[in-house]
Amino acid sequence: MSSWSSKQECRSFYKSLCAQEFAQGLVQNQQKLNGYLHDFMSKQSGFWGAYRALAQEVSVDEVFQIKDIDWLFPRVKGNELEFCFASGFSQGAFGVLEPDPTSTQVDLQNLQGLLIPGLSFNKNGNRLGKGKGFYDKTLEHFKGIKVGVCFDFQISERTLPMDTHDVKVDFLISESGITICQQFEVH
């Protein structure tokens, strides 16, 4: 498979594809994905980070009721994310719902894992975000489980353009199932 000539070209392609696909609703895809996500998260416990989906991101709200997990949500602080218990949400940077300013922050190293959105992923765990680098900067030293959440059309068969600071995910969850990304590592 050929690779993209640049991150800009790849982002442009996936932003356009997401606009087309999300406009169709994707209700059945979301329901299938919810089943796999719920199965995966039901085996987890402790502190987990998640996100409140934007219009063209996969929703993960379905798993917020799992009893053995305490959910934290990202809030932009400088050029990184901090994860907080949400006493409430307000619209933050870039239109994202973030925990209110009074919400309690938890040190990232206390989280068991994170559910992470993206424009595109590879089965080997590469992730292409929207270009601000918040997740990459935040996760640079994170040792917990990183789970990319996306629809099948967001999984690229082509090599994604990556920089040395880009952080890979350990698992991908889509409507087709759960992918263990280490199985697809190129050695």
pLDDT of residue 187: 42
pLDDT of residue 158: 84
pLDDT digits (tens, 9 = 90+) for 144-174: 999 999 999 999 988 888 888 888 999 999 9
pLDDT of residue 145: 97
pLDDT of residue 1: 52
**Average pLDDT of every residue of the chain:** 90
40 DSSP β-pair partners: none
* Distances from the Cα of 164 to the Cα of 25, 66, 126, 158, 182, angstroms: 35, 35, 11, 18, 18
Q: Do the beta carbons of residue 91 and residue 75 sit within 8 Å?
A: no
What's the rounded Cα separation, in Å, for the pair 128 and 135?
10
CA–chain centroid gap for 83, Å, is 14
- What domains, with CATH codes, occur in the chain? 7-184 (3.40.50.10420)
What's the rounded Cα separation, in Å, for the pair 105 and 168?
24
Q: Do the beta carbons of residue 138 and residue 116 sit within 8 Å?
A: no
Averaged pLDDT, 35-47 = 96
pLDDT digits (tens, 9 = 90+) for 68-125: 999 999 999 888 899 999 989 999 877 889 999 899 999 999 999 999 999 999 999 9
Residue whose C-alpha is closest to residue 57's, from 96, 91, 110: 96
Q: In the predicted model, is pLDDT for residue 185 greater than 70?
A: no
